[in-house]
């Protein structure tokens, strides 16, 4: 083993992904705490990563992606599903779909049930401090943080048709899915700055790399965590086929993500004793929850042919793509500068559910997320899926060799309730696309297909077509030390050991309602200051949730989550709702006309202004030779 002169740092961080990048920045901010970051991937300097519209390319490249696959999934016709994970500076935030969703405020109330200190009032200010929202900050959003977010330009009329159709179907619109009210349909934020992907590395790691106390080593595969008794003291890693050791005077922080973090813990002797001993691994600490409880979102693509040639299908030729790339290279704008997920929705399928759990991403193209399955005609689609699945899987060892990939199985849709939710997703989406807002555009249903109606037909479609939305988590879940399946305590320390934490998306106590990059960054941002939140940072929030009721197409204000500035006394509570005042009858036709009227006014006002100027005689002045 090469010693690199027995290097010792205050902190060693394993993984420069979403959480690792933030931690590297925050832990080294004082200029003298020494931090070593070890990342198996390499540089993110590639147009394929930087150009938002190219998102489906890096997620398929072995250079940037660990390219995991699940074991045959028993409830999905034995299919192996793709499980991409970033292997590059910025981790998965460098190869993801750039969608920025914080989650529902009530997600964090669920977290707090088993992990004190992670309620919405604790985490909100960290979301705000992270954000540099192009559209500006408000009581919920931040505008001066390092993580750039922005809306798309919503130039394609299909984006607005989607939001209008959802309102016609009885759902509310929302001004900001990351603000006061997640529930409803509206615009979607993306992590893009000046037309370029803005990963966690761009926001946090790269600005910190100038600091002399931060060392980042790429192409370094951490193979094990080293212990003295129950204290983690260092890591062994391979770089250019040479073995090194890095020692940590204070702590080792594992930020390898939901597959690699449990894998490395197990390789290092931390996990279910039976599994480890069967492979000849010495048990440092028996922790049965490591790698268990694995969870993910599934989604399918509900695709409709478009009767007008206005979708991104027009851009499929090589010349069109070359034009998009050239424009992006010269001006960092145009179709290359967006992820094309510009409108979205969050709903509940029925009464009796506390807050939304079905997510929609709308795309003016019929294609699979990984870009491999493009429909052969103009089309548009919604990515749809429920986000609170009851199915659980695992990450288990195949061998004790760190280069062997682990066994991954999600047991997707193994719980009967998940089938009920999937069927609801198909039926509710069909209803949205049937609204009049889509009349000018709606062609045939490409998939599932108009013939897919009964439960059995829908189940068959789901079994064959559903895909991962790429949000595994929960495999090192956080909880009280008394919880036998918890892996880290609410301060992110590995239970039963010293000097070791896990800080990444694997520790979420339950999965959030949305994509996971934003909450993972929040976890990383919060960790160094955990439990030292100043009371003045406590948020004041009033997040309203809604539900759709019955065929009369109305929405009802169901409950409010009210957090006050009073810190500890703040509790979520169901409010007494005055039914009469809370019921908002939907007026689909008028809502549609109103949007069109606003659109019309926006387009014609410059002409009206010019006409007015001319009538004032300025026209003759302007037209003088
Ligand atoms: C294809 C794809 C699309 C997605 N789309 C979205 C989206 O649009 N919006 C969204 O919010 N979320 C999205 N996600 C999810 C989101 O990006 C992740 O949940 C989040 O980035 C996870 O952060 P993390 O810190 O837990 O892990 P990661 O960001 O994956 O970081 C882990 C890092 O650790 C490194 N590492 C692991 N093991 C070792 C080791 N032994 N030695 C050295 N280095 C190691 C890895 O190489 C990696 O860089 C997507 C994910 C993927 C893969």
3-class SS at 583?
A: strand
Closest CA to 447 of 428, 431, 468, 426: 426
- Cβ–ligand 1 contact at 17 (below 6 Å): yes
What is the distance in A from the centroid of ligand 1 to the CA of 525?
A: 16
- Ligand 1 centroid to residue 593 C-alpha, Å: 43
Supply the pLDDT for residue 1.
Answer: 55
Please tell me the distance from the alpha carbon of residue 438 to that of residue 208, in angstroms, as a whole number: 48
575-to-173, 178, 273, 555 alpha-carbon distances in Å:
22, 22, 47, 17
Cβ atoms 104, 513 nearer than 8 A = yes
Q: Strand 393-396 to strand 379-386: parallel, antiparallel, or no bridges (unpaired)?
A: unpaired
Question: Measured between alpha carbons, how far is 346 from 359 in angstroms, rounded to an integer?
Answer: 5
CA distances from 252 to 62, 336, 339, 375, 472 (A): 28, 39, 35, 47, 23
Catalogue the active-site residues: 471
Q: What is the pLDDT of residue 55?
A: 96
Report the residue among 15, 360, 362, 395 best suited for mutation to probe ligand 1: largest number of ligand atoms under 8 A from its CB: 15
Neighbours of 308 (CB within 10 A): 11
Angle at 322 between CA 319 and CA 328, to 5 degrees: 145
Work out the number of other CB atoms within 10 angstroms of the CB of residue 571. 14
Distance 507 CA to ligand 1 centre (A): 13
Q: What is the pLDDT of residues 334-367, one digit of tens each?
A: 999 999 999 999 999 998 899 999 999 999 999 8
pLDDT of residue 528: 64
For CATH 3.50.50.60, the residue range(s) in the chain are: 8-71+80-535
Which residue ranges are tagged as binding site? 88, 96-99, 222
Residue 261 in contact with ligand 1 by CB distance below 6 A: no
Please name the residue whose Cα sits nearest to atom 31 of ligand 1: 17
Which pTM was predicted? 0.87
Cα distances from 186 to residues 78, 166, 310, 342, 494, in angstroms, run 36, 10, 21, 9, 40
Query: Quick check: 492 and 252 in contact, CB under 8 A?
Result: no
- In this predicted structure, what is the pLDDT of residue 527? 74
Cα–ligand 1 centroid distance for 18 (angstroms):
6
User: Which residues of the chain are under the pLDDT cut of 70?
Assistant: 1-5, 528-625
Question: Using CA atoms, how far apart are residues 466 and 170, in angstroms rounded to an integer?
Answer: 26
335 CA to centre of ligand 1 in angstroms: 25
Q: Is the C-beta atom of 435 inside 6 A of ligand 1?
A: no
So what's the pLDDT on residue 12? 98
Buried/exposed 105-144: b ≥16 CB within 10 Å, e otherwise: bbbbbbbbebbeebbbbbbbbbbbbbbbbeeeeeebbbee
Ligand 1: does its nearest atom lie under 6 Å from the Cβ of 295?
Answer: no
Q: Which of 286, 295, 274, 267 is nearest to 494 (CA)?
A: 286
Task: Write the pLDDT tens digit of every residue in 500-523.
Answer: 999 999 999 999 999 999 999 999
Q: Does any ligand 1 atom lie closer than 6 A to the CB of residue 87?
A: yes
Atom of ligand 1 nearest to the CA of 237: 42
85 ligand 1 Cβ < 6 A: yes
**Structure tokens belonging to residue 36:** 């070593």
Angle between helices 157-168 and 416-433 (to 10 degrees): 110
| Residue of 517, 519, 526 best suited for mutating to test ligand 1, as the one with most atoms within 8 Å of CB | 517
Q: Ligand 1, atom 20: nearest CA belongs to which residue?
A: 517
Which pLDDT score, from 0 to 100, does residue 245 have? 96
| Residue list for the binding site for FAD | 88, 96-99, 222
Cα–Cα distance, 234 to 247 (Å, whole number)? 4
The secondary structure of 179-239 as a DSSP string is: TT--SEEEE-EE-EETTEE--HIIIIIHHHTTSTTEEEESSEEEEEEEEETTEEEEEEEEE
Determine whether the shortest distance from the Cβ of 38 to ligand 1 is under 6 A. Answer: yes
CA distances from 535 to 59, 121, 140, 572 (A): 41, 10, 17, 18
Q: What is the 3-state secondary structure (H, E, C) of 70-85?
A: CCCCCCCCCCCCEECC
The greatest distance separating any two alpha carbons of the chain, rounded to the nearest whole angstrom, comes to 92
What CATH code is assigned to 8-71+80-535? 3.50.50.60
Give the Cα-Cα-Cα angle 136, 141, 147 (nearest 5 degrees). 80
């Amino acid at each position: 083993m090469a010693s690199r002169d027995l290097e010792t740092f205050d902190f060693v961080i394993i993984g420069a992904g979403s959480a690792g990048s933030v931690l590297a920045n925050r832990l080294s901010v004082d200029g003298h705490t020494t931090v070593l970051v070890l990342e198996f991937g390499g540089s993110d300097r590639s147009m394929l990563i930087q150009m938002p519209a190219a998102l489906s390319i890096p997620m398929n490249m072995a250079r940037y992606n660990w390219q995991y696959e699940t074991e045959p999934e028993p409830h999905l016709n034995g299919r192996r599903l793709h499980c991409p994970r970033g292997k590059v500076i910025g981790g998965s935030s460098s190869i993801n779909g750039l969608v920025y969703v914080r989650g529902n405020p009530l997600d964090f109330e669920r977290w707090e049930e088993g992990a004190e200190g992670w309620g919405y009032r604790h985490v909100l200010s960290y979301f705000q401090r992270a954000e540099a929202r192009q559209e500006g900050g408000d009581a919920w959003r931040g505008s001066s943080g390092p993580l750039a977010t922005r809306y798309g330009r919503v130039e394609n009329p299909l984006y607005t048709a989607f939001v209008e159709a959802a309102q016609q179907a009885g759902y509310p619109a929302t001004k900001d899915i990351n603000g006061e009210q997640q529930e409803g349909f509206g615009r979607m934020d993306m992590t893009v700055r000046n037309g370029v992907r803005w990963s966690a590395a761009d926001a946090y790691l790269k600005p910190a790399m100038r600091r002399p106390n931060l060392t980042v080593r790429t192409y370094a595969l951490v193979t094990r965590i080293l212990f003295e008794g129950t204290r983690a003291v260092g890591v062994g890693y391979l770089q250019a086929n040479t073995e090194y050791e890095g020692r940590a005077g204070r702590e080792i922080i594992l930020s390898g993500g939901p597959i690699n973090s449990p894998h490395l813990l197990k390789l290092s002797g931390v996990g279910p004793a039976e599994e480890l001993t069967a492979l000849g691994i010495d048990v440092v600490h028996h922790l049965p929850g490591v790698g268990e409880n694995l969870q993910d979102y599934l989604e399918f693509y509900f695709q409709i042919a478009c009767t007008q040639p206005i979708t991104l299908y027009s851009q499929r030729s090589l010349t069109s793509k070359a034009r998009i790339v050239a424009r992006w290279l010269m001006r960092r704008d145009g179709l290359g500068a967006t992820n094309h997920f510009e409108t979205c929705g969050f709903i509940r399928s029925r009464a009796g559910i506390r807050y939304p759990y079905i997510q929609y991403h709308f795309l003016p193209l019929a294609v699979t997320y990984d870009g491999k399955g493009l429909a052969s005609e103009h089309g548009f689609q919604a990515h749809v899926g429920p986000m609170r699945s009851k199915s659980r899987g695992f990450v288990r060892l195949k061998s004790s060799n760190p280069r062997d990939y682990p066994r991954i199985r999600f047991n997707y849709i193994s719980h009967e309730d998940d089938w009920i939710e999937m069927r609801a997703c198909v039926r509710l989406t069909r209803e949205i696309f049937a609204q009049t807002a889509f009349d000018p555009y709606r062609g045939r249903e490409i998939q599932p297909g108009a013939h897919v109606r009964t439960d059995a037909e829908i189940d068959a479609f789901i079994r064959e077509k559903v895909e991962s939305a790429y949000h595994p988590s929960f495999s090192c879940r956080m909880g009280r030390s008394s919880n036998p399946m918890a892996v880290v305590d609410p301060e992110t320390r590995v239970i039963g050991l010293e000097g070791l934490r896990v800080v990444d998306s694997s520790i979420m106590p339950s999965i959030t309602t949305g994509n996971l990059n934003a909450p993972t960054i929040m976890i990383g941002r919060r960790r160094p200051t955990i439990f030292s939140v100043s009371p003045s940072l406590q948020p004041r929030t009033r997040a309203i949730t809604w539900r759709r009721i019955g065929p009369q197409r109305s929405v009802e204000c169901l409950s409010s989550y009210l957090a006050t500035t009073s810190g500890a006394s703040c509790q979520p509570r169901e409010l007494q709702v005055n039914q009469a005042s809370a019921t908002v009858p939907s007026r689909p036709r008028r809502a549609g006309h109103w949007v069109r009227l606003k659109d019309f006014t926006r387009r014609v006002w410059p002409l009206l202004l010019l006409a007015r100027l001319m009538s004032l005689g300025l026209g003759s002045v302007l037209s003088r030779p």
